[in-house]
Amino acid sequence: MRLLTHNFLQSNVRGTVDGYPLKIEGTNIVVENSSMDSNLVRKVLPKLNYPALVAAINDIRNEEGEEDNNNNISESVLKALHFFLFDVHVIEGCLICPGTDRRFPIKDGIPNMILHEDEV
Amino acid sequence: MSRPELTGHASNFYNEREARKYNSSSRMINVQREITLRAIELLLLPPDEASLVLDIGCGSGLSGEVLEEHGHVWVGCDVSRDMLQVAHERMEKSYKMKGDDDKTEAEIARMKYDDDDDSDDDDNNVCSTGDLMHHDMGTGLPFRPATFDACVSISALQWLCYSNSSAQIPKRRLIRFFSSLYSILKKSARAAVLISECATAVGFGGGIVVDYPNSAKAKKHYLVLSCDRVGGRGQVPGMTAAGAVADQKQSQVQVGKQRQEKDGRKARPIRKKKGVKTKEWIVHKKETQRKKGKEVRPDTKYTARRRPRKF
């Protein structure tokens, strides 16, 4: 699962007021290089939730990352964003709904978001 | 088996065996490809630009592969873990293959020119642009509002029309699905999926496009939904294929009626099982029980005779 996907994922378990962002508990994280496409990153940019991305990166690193809001986006920033959005894969771990603490396990890079009929 | 939807849950039908079969059938691959290509055409995505596409019911990632070829980034979700596993393996394989290819290319490039390493790292290899997720679309899509540029769903939505347990109410599941789909799509995004009363109830505009309406086999129904309610981009692209007549109806079709249309024939009425509790059946049952060595009352003239009516 890429962090890009994580940035869009939201939990809709019954009883959550705000199921976003999901907390990541990664046990196996892999970096796969992919070709950089700055146009693609630019396109994705307006849809991103920046605080959620920072939180996700922090979850993965388990340390505080520097928080900076750059308005003028340079190539290097795009590169860094691309690395985090497209190259970092969470292979094994857990997603945790912030509202209800419902855990969604990740296996083989595929998060299991299945909800039972009574959970919706 | 003509209608696998009736046999149970999708994740039960698409088990490991079925998933492998699905993925190795060249006919299936071709059909999926063709439909996906047409769906992409119907989506009216801006050309030469990568879009973020949601693939609902991605299965083994056949449609995702086509999306990838068109340069789109996709997120697939499916209810069958085995199908996803196949998709995952395939993506992994193509990643490794492409990775090796590019490595050798990069090495050759390095041998030829003494370029800086940075550029090499940049276009080192092409990884699959897809991402997978295990999810049941009937419980609503778990995404933030207004994230996806488009959505495709190839032969998956019919599963929503059937309930596999008493807790699953098809209508509710359809509403849940379409309302979440409406919210996660960007304004002026399009969804090409195959059903429709519920869709208009939650605010989609659009209609059904029928390709090859006169052919029983090649006939395909596309439900094209667009998020702009005014229907600005109303025209249907590509009446190019020979014999393809696109016929756009306004979506006031009921779900039940639609099912009939999709088959191209009327749905069969549910028939009562014949021959239950007749004399023949009872005698036969007693005989088999006797053979099993069970204690059974002897056959008399009263066997299977109807009781007199009570006052």
pLDDT of residue B113: 39
Cross-chain Cβ contact A118/B167 below 8 Å: yes
Q: Does the pLDDT at position B53 exceed 80? A: yes
Residues 99-118 of A with CB under 8 A from B: 108-115, 117-118
The CA-to-CA distance between both ends of chain A, in Å, stands at 23
**Distance between CA atoms of residues A89 and B147, nearest Å:** 20
Annotated domain spans of chain B: 4-263, 273-311
B84 lies within 8 A of chain A by CB: yes
Q: Is the peptide bond before A21 cis (omega within 30 degrees of 0)?
A: yes
Name chain A contacts of B147, Cβ cutoff 8 Å.
Answer: 8, 47
Using an 8 Å Cβ cutoff, are B152 and B223 in contact?
no
Mean pLDDT of the B214-220 span:
67
Rounded Cα–Cα distance for residues B168 and B256 (Å): 17
The residue that leads in pLDDT, A111 or B208, is A111
- The mean of the pLDDT values for chain B is 69
Q: Terminus-to-terminus CA distance in chain B, angstroms?
A: 49
- The pLDDT-based confidence of B110 (bands split at 50, 70, 90) is very low
Q: pLDDT tens digits for A36-59? A: 777 778 877 878 888 888 888 877
Q: What value does the mean pLDDT take over residues A81-105?
A: 83
pLDDT for res B234: 42
Residue A74 near chain B (CB below 8 Å): no
Q: What is the pLDDT of residues B260-290, one digit of tens each?
A: 334 444 555 666 666 677 888 899 999 999 9
Residue B289 pLDDT: 93
Pick B117 or B159 by higher pLDDT.
B159
| Residue B125 in contact with partner chain A when CB distance is under 8 A | yes
| Facing A2 at nearest CB: one of B131, B165, B180 | B131
CA angle B156, B158, B160 (to 5 degrees): 95
Is the domain covering B4-263 a CATH 3.40.50.150 domain? yes
- Asked whether the beta carbons of residue B52 and residue A109 sit closer than 8 angstroms, the reply is no
- The token pair at B16 is 């490991």
Q: B135 and A47: CB-CB below 8 Å? A: no
* Residue B115: alpha-carbon gap to chain centroid: 47
CB-based contact, B119 to chain A, within 8 Å: no
Q: Which of B61-70, B73-82, B86-95, B216-225 has the lowest mean pLDDT?
A: B216-225
- Measured between CB atoms, which of A32, A34, A120 is closest to B176? A120
Q: Using a pLDDT cut of 90, give the percent of chain B over it.
A: 5
Domains defined for chain A, CATH in brackets: 3-63+72-119 (2.20.25.10)
Q: Residue B63 above 80 pLDDT?
A: yes
Q: Kindly state the average pLDDT of the residues A20-34.
A: 80
Contact B75 A12 (CB under 8 A): no
Q: Which two tokens stand for residue A112?
A: 């299991």
Question: Hey, which bits of chain A come out as E strands?
Answer: 23-31, 88-96, 103-107, 110-111
pLDDT at position B116 is 37
Residue among A95, A114, A119 with most chain B CBs within 10 A, to mutate = A114
C-beta of residue B52 within 8 angstroms of C-beta of residue A47: yes
In order of A4, B257, B287, B289, B299, the CA distances from B293 in angstroms are 66, 52, 10, 7, 16
Predicted pLDDT of residue B98? 52
H or E element in which residue A44 lies: helix A38-44
What was the pLDDT predicted at B240? 38
How does residue B235 score in pLDDT terms, banded at 50, 70 and 90? very low
**CB contact (8 A) between residue A32 and residue B132:** no
pLDDT of residue A66: 45
E runs forming strands in chain B? 52-56, 73-78, 130-134, 148-153, 185-193, 205-211, 220-226, 247-250
Q: What is the pLDDT of residue B228?
A: 56
- The answer to whether the CB atoms of B142 and A12 lie below 8 A apart is yes
Note the pLDDT of residue B295: 92
Contact state of A110 with B134 under an 8 Å Cβ cutoff: yes
Per-residue pLDDT tens for B167-209?
Answer: 677 777 878 887 888 777 766 566 666 544 445 555 566 666 7
Query: Which of B13-22, B118-127, B131-140, B274-283 is predicted with the least confidence, judged by mean pLDDT?
Result: B118-127
Residue B96 clears pLDDT 90, i.e. is over it: no
The answer on pLDDT for A18 being more than 80 is no
What is the per-residue DSSP string for B114-180? ---HHHHHHTS-----EEEEE--GGG---B-SS-EEEEEE-S-GGGGGS-SSTT--HHHHHHHHHHH
Q: Tell me the CA distances in angstroms from B81 to A85, B12, B18, one per residue in order.
A: 24, 10, 12
- Give the confidence band of B4 by pLDDT, cuts at 50, 70, 90: low
Q: For the ranges A51-65, B150-164, B279-293, which has the lowest average pLDDT?
A: A51-65
- What pLDDT score does B120 carry? 36
Q: What ipTM was predicted for this assembly? A: 0.80
Q: Assess B97–A contact: CB distance below 8 Å, yes or no.
A: no
Q: Which two tokens stand for residue B117?
A: 């390493």
CB-based contact A12 B135, cutoff 8 Å: no
Tell which A residues from 1 to 40 touch B, by Cβ distance under 8 Å.
1-2, 4-5, 7-12, 19-20, 32-37, 39-40
Distance between B146 CA and the closest CA of chain A, angstroms: 8
The chain B residue lying nearest A118, using CA atoms, is B167
- Which pLDDT belongs to residue B298? 92
pLDDT in the model for residue B192: 64
For residue B70, what pLDDT band results from cuts at 50, 70 and 90? confident
Show the CA angle centred on residue A18, arms to residues A17 and A20, nearest 5°: 160
Please state which of the ranges B7-21, B62-76, B141-155 shows the lowest mean pLDDT. Answer: B7-21
Q: Report pLDDT for B74.
A: 87
